[in-house]
Structure 1
């Protein structure tokens, strides 16, 4: 998945794996359910600004980058 984030006032294009939320199923035809799972951001592959990849530069800031990705995804909705 791709999105644009704003981090420390600068826009970056980010490519990453995203698993959408899976809803809980109380009971199915086999009389079993499924607890569901929350949405998840997996691996982050690319963080670019003006065509330059800054992924290695941000390796110690991935928690903040993930927060910025969540914010960007929420703003899309």
Structure 2
């Protein structure tokens, strides 16, 4: 998946794995259920600004990038 994030006022294009939420199923036709799972941002592959790759620069702060991705995704859905 791709999106644009803002980090400290600078826009970065980010490519990453995204697993959407899977809803809980109480019972299906076999009388079994599924607990579901929360949405998840997995691996981050590319972080660019003006064509320059910053992935290595952010490799120790990927959790901050994930938070910025969540914020960007929330803004897209509103």
Q: TM-score, normalized by length of structure 1?
A: 0.97
After the TM superposition, which parts of structure 1 deviate over 4 Å for at least 4 consecutive aligned residues?
Answer: none
- Structure 2 unaligned runs (5+)? none
- Structure 1 unaligned runs (5+)? none
Residues 27-55 of structure 1 deviation map (CA, whole Å, 9 limit, x = unaligned):
00000000000000000000000000000
The equivalent of 1:32 in structure 2 is 32
Deviation at 1:60, TM superposition (A): 1.1
What is the rounded CA distance, in whole Å, between the counterparts of 1:18 and 1:44 in structure 2? 9
Which secondary structure state, in structure 2, belongs to the residue aligned with residue 56 of structure 1? Answer: helix
Which secondary structure state, in structure 2, belongs to the residue aligned with residue 11 of structure 1? Answer: strand
Deviation at 1:22, TM superposition (A): 0.2
Aligned-residue CA RMSD in angstroms? 0.7
What is the rounded CA distance, in whole Å, between the counterparts of 2:53 and 2:13 in structure 1? 9
The equivalent of 1:22 in structure 2 is 22
What is the rounded CA distance, in whole Å, between the counterparts of 1:44 and 1:20 in structure 2? 15
